[in-house]
Amino acid sequence: MTARIIDGRAYAADLRRQLAAEVRNLAEQGTRPGLATVMVGDSYPAQAYERRVRRLAEELGCHYVCEALPADVPEADAVAAVGKLDADPRVSGILVLRPLPSQVSEVALYRALDPLKDIEAVHPVNAGLLALGRPRYVPSTPASVYHMLDRYLSESGQDPQDVYSRSNVVLVGRSNNVGKPAILLGLARNATVLSCDVHSFKAGLLYEHTAQADILIVAAGSPALITGEHVKEGVIAIDVGINPLPDPRTGKVRLVGDLDFDSVAKKAQAISPVPGGVGPITDVWLLKNTVSAAKLAAGVAAAQPSLDGIPRPAYDHTRI
């Protein structure tokens, strides 16, 4: 089997065109979306992501600001930086970039976010709304994973609802902003969902589970964790990993995923590459959530974010 390589850049370009039109419409109504990022330290993946979303925000005509803090910043100062952005009326949405240094708690920063500006749904209120099926925002990476899957299935002549309802979706990775929300999105599509993480690996069960996957989503942050021998024929494999690897000869850094691409592609029905897969969609989806936040702040009616890809009527999240 030769896998179809899913072109995330093409899907992202379609979303970007739609989003640009929304931003122009908002501008005509006197509203300019604004994105703020909080980056603590000098992690390569965080810096790369910050550069991409900065460029996209500026190209779309959104306000953008980055609060770059030193790696040794006290937690109280990081919380104060979030509070400053909460109070800035130019900022519609706030993204806390990961990883964070050990002295700064994710929970502390997430709780400090204004829930209306928490575009990754990591504040306890937004995470609860997501779990209850009434999301204010759907986190950008898991939303992008399922947008990619929905489109691939439709374009290949398969009925997404039918495929999900008879599929084992296996997720590797249980982070608060990717793995856990992706479980909810899979359940909303009536899939049978199995979640694995480092504990599954230590127990010697990880590859037993991945071999049962009809749809495999890997977000573990471990290069080439999954190879062709760990998947079954016909799997749809989605790689969320972003791992910087320096070339020993040139010293240049290249990004690789959590899948061993060549060996998995020999057995897969379809596979997403790194780079050029989920990442470009995620960048646009983050700005999409920022635009939704700007609409909420301006009192502009918008459709309720969907867990299952089916449009829903507007829901007033400003009153929660």
Any idea where the domains of the chain sit in the sequence?
22-135+280-302, 140-277
Distances (CA, A) of 258 to 146, 210, 219, 313: 18, 13, 7, 37
Beta-carbon contacts of residue 153 (< 8 Å; ≥ 6 apart): 159, 160, 163
Please classify residue 128 by burial: count the beta carbons closer than 10 Å to its beta carbon, then call 0-12 exposed, 13-18 middle and 19+ buried.
Answer: middle
- Helix or strand run (H / E) with residue 82: helix 75-86
Q: Say what the pLDDT of residue 315 is.
A: 53
Beta-carbon contacts of residue 282 (< 8 Å; ≥ 6 apart): 140, 141, 144
Q: Say what the pLDDT of residue 319 is.
A: 52
Cα–Cα distance for residue pair 53/36, rounded to 1 Å = 10
Query: How would you write the pLDDT of the chain (320 residues) with one tens digit per residue?
Result: 689 999 999 999 999 999 999 999 999 999 999 999 999 999 888 999 999 999 999 999 999 999 999 999 999 999 999 999 999 999 999 999 999 999 999 999 999 999 999 999 999 999 999 999 999 999 999 999 999 999 999 999 999 999 999 999 999 999 999 999 999 999 999 999 999 999 999 999 999 999 999 999 999 999 999 999 999 999 999 999 999 888 888 888 888 999 999 999 999 999 999 999 999 999 999 999 999 999 999 988 666 687 877 765 555 555 55
Q: Say what the pLDDT of residue 87 is.
A: 98
Q: Which fold has domain 22-135+280-302?
A: Rossmann fold (3.40.50)
Residue 59 backbone class (left: φ over 0; alpha: ψ -120 to 50; beta: rest): alpha
Same fold, 22-135+280-302 and 140-277: yes
pTM: 0.93
* Type of residue numbered 155: E
Residue in this structure with the two tokens 């230590």, named with its chain if needed: 202
Beta-carbon contacts of residue 108 (< 8 Å; ≥ 6 apart): 75, 78, 79
Cβ atoms within 10 A of the Cβ of 282, count?
26
Q: What superfamily would CATH give domain 140-277? A: NAD(P)-binding Rossmann-like Domain (3.40.50.720)
Bridge-partner residues for 40, per DSSP?
Answer: 69
Burial 174-210 (b: 16+ CB within 10 A, else e): bbbbbbbbbbbbbbbbebebbbbbeebbeeeebbebb
Cα–Cα distance for residue pair 129/157, rounded to 1 Å = 33
Q: Say what the pLDDT of residue 110 is.
A: 96
Cα–Cα distance for residue pair 54/16, rounded to 1 Å = 14
How are beta strands 192-196 and 93-96 bridged, if at all? unpaired
Q: Say what the pLDDT of residue 252 is.
A: 87
